Amino acid sequence: MSTDEETPEDLEPVPCTVCRGTGTLISNLGGSPFEVPCAWCDGTGTFLPDHDAQAQRRAAAEAAGETPAGPTAPVAETD
């Protein structure tokens, strides 16, 4: 029995469900909405099965946490 209906394992692009394939999300951080690249699909608009948005966010958070907010002013010792 031979079948010509072999379904090729073509990886059809699956639209990212988070940004609905737009590649951008609307962030309301700061009060006014602005577009930011979707972290779940890396701004491609295509669902990335192996993409770990949480890891990226954690890395970003860690980087932000480790980065000093600015030059720390030396404490003036009052004598």
For Zn ion, the binding residues (CB under 5 A) are 16, 18-19, 38, 40-41
The single-letter DSSP state of residue 67 is: S
State which residue, 38 or 63, has the beta carbon closest to Zn ion.
Answer: 38
Task: State in angstroms the smallest separation of the CB of 61 from Zn ion.
Answer: 19
Task: State in angstroms the smallest separation of the CB of 65 from Zn ion.
Answer: 25
Angle at 23 between CA 20 and CA 24, to 5 degrees: 95
State which residue, 19 or 72, has the beta carbon closest to Zn ion.
Answer: 19
Task: State in angstroms the smallest separation of the CB of 42 from Zn ion.
Answer: 8
Distances (CA, A) of 75 to 41, 66, 72: 45, 21, 9
